[in-house]
Structure 1
Amino acid sequence: MAHHIPCKLLFLCLTFFTTTQTQAHFAEESLEICEIKTPQQTTKLHFYFHDIPNGKNPTAVIIARPANLKTVGFGTLVMIDDPLTEGPETSSKLVGRAQGMYGEAGLDSSDQQDVSSLLMTITLSFTQEKFNGSSISILGRYRVSDEQREMPIVGGTGVFRLARGYALAKTYKYDPKTGVAVSEYNVFVLH
């Protein structure tokens, strides 16, 4: 019986090294493809993000929440299809939509440092000018209590293919009665 253990070990090692070499070969091919040089540019975008959780036509709806919660709190997930506008008024020119979700990810703690932290996973889809049909993906932490929140851009499509950068969000207006929030966004995209 002890004689079979080294054989099994040898088989596992050979399987590992064979798999590793196959993957390395694939990675080498991918690296060759990625070595194509393309000029990059930085684009700055400025718009307003309207999160409307109540009323006749809400653009943000709770899709899950812990059973012990009656309101928004840790563990709540919200799906959004929020308008992005040129100015802070909802009647301002529509430039795109923020689609995706955010979840309440910060636990209430005694030091109050992690209260109201959202995990944002959204796609900013644009509808105007040369950016029509292009999008930017954001995935990151959004601390509601910070005056200015910074989130990373992790990708994009169309004009913004292979995008990276960051988005700065600042509360422009918030109505605690209705929950309607308007945030000003300054986005810096390298693409």
Structure 2
Amino acid sequence: MAVCIAKLVVFSLLFMSTVFVSANSHTFARSLLPREIGLKEEKLSHLHFYFHDIVSGPNPTAVRVAEAKMTNTSATGFGAVVMIDDLLTEGPDMSSKEVGRAQGIYALASQNDVGLLMVQNYVFTEGKYNGSTLSVLGRNAVLSGVRELAIVGGSGLFRFARGYARAKTHTFDLKTGDACVEYDVYVFHY
């Protein structure tokens, strides 16, 4: 009987030590200081560029990929989903220096006004930001003078990004539907 109790105690101790070691060796999450992963001081950057949304012609950069049955009879285009790969330039002319692309989706998400749900990445191709991205999510009430969209993340030099983008229509062609939008982006990042 004493041998059985001793074996039970040894087994219990081994089992408990295994549980404690396992609990400590497989951590789901832990706290870090930014410098532990090489992050330096956070900074605030301002970017200014123009977004060219071309829906007309032989090479559109914005293409409708889905719509609801009622989209074409809706005064606001409600239900349309558009995939974009829009040019970002330094100036308002499409021939000005390219600084990146806006890639993603916008959907006409309002029945009462022209309100877009925008989900996109600004993919930069110029200067020190080449290869870095900013992720944008927000509502764009296109008939408002100035609209504000959230910057919800980024990559490359924009890791841990957060901030906002202010959009202002520069030109809109009623005949073609093509638009040029001026963007001022303010972003905190490391």
Question: TM-score scaled to structure 1, two decimals?
Answer: 0.79
1:119 aligned residue (95, 117, 120): 117
In structure 1, the partner of 2:136 is: 138
Distance 2:32 2:96 in 1: 46
Q: Which runs of 4+ in 1 moved over 4 A?
A: 33-37
Is the deviation greater in 160-169 or in 61-70? 61-70
**Corresponding position of 1:64:** 66
Instruction: Name the count of aligned residue pairs.
Output: 161
Are 1:102 and 2:100 matched, yes or no? no
Q: TM-score, normalised by structure 2?
A: 0.80
**% of aligned pairs identical?**
52
Which position in structure 2 is the counterpart of 1:89? Answer: 93
Q: For residues 62 and 79 of structure 1, what CA distance do their matches in structure 2 show?
A: 6
Match of 2:28 in 1: 26
In the alignment, structure 2 segments of 5+ residues that lack a partner are 1-22
| Counterpart mapping for 1:144-155 below 5 A | 144-155=142-153
Name the larger-Rg structure: 2
Displacement of 1:56? 1.3
3-state SS of the aligned residue for 1:50?
Answer: strand
Q: Secondary structure at the match of 1:70?
A: helix
The residue correspondences of 1:165-176 to structure 2 (distance < 5 A) are 165-176=163-174
Q: Who is 1:5 aligned against?
A: none
Q: Secondary structure at the match of 1:92?
A: coil
Structure 2 equivalent of residue 157 of structure 1: 155
Structure 1 unmatched runs, 5+: 1-20, 109-114
The letter for the 2-side match of 1:43 is S
Structure-1 separation of matches of 2:163 and 2:148: 10
Q: Secondary structure at the match of 1:136?
A: strand
Q: Partner amino acid for 2:32?
A: E
